[in-house]
């Protein structure tokens, strides 16, 4: 899907067939690679998956959560950099300021 459609996807080890199906069918929102804003997430205490997911949940579902796989345990398999860039792409500078 990345090569053919230009979808922003994580590695094949972390993307499930169910999430890919939901992206293709429109149940989940697909982000184009050309639209992605990359952010480097520092490794420090207080910036864990739970914090990132909690920040994403503070926005309406269609902004961030609709781009992520279900159930939530699948989100925890995603690389931290992918998750951060996805949130930054959808939310913008509010996320960058929150990280800083």
Output DSSP code: residue 43: -
Q: Comparing C-alpha atoms, which of 32, 21, 43 is closest to residue 90? A: 32
pLDDT tens digits, one per residue of 35-61: 999 998 888 766 788 889 999 999 998
Average pLDDT, the chain: 89
- Residue-range domain boundaries for the chain: 2-99
Cα–Cα–Cα angle for 54, 13, 72, rounded to 5 degrees: 25
Determine phi and psi for 32, rounding to 5 degrees.
-75, 145
pTM for the full predicted model: 0.87
Give yes or no for a cis peptide into 71 (omega within 30° of 0): yes
pLDDT for residue 85 is more than 90: yes
Residue tagged 């279900």 (tokens):
70
């Amino acid at each position: 899907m990345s090569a053919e459609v230009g979808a922003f996807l994580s590695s094949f080890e972390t993307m499930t067939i169910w999430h890919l199906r939901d992206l293709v069918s429109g149940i989940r929102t697909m982000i184009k690679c050309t639209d992605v804003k990359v952010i480097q997430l520092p490794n420090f205490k207080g910036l864990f998956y739970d914090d990132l997911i909690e920040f994403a949940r503070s926005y309406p579902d269609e902004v961030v959560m609709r781009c992520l796989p279900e159930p939530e345990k699948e989100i925890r398999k995603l690389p931290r950099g992918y998750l951060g860039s996805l949130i930054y792409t959808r939310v913008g500078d509010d996320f960058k300021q929150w990280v800083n």
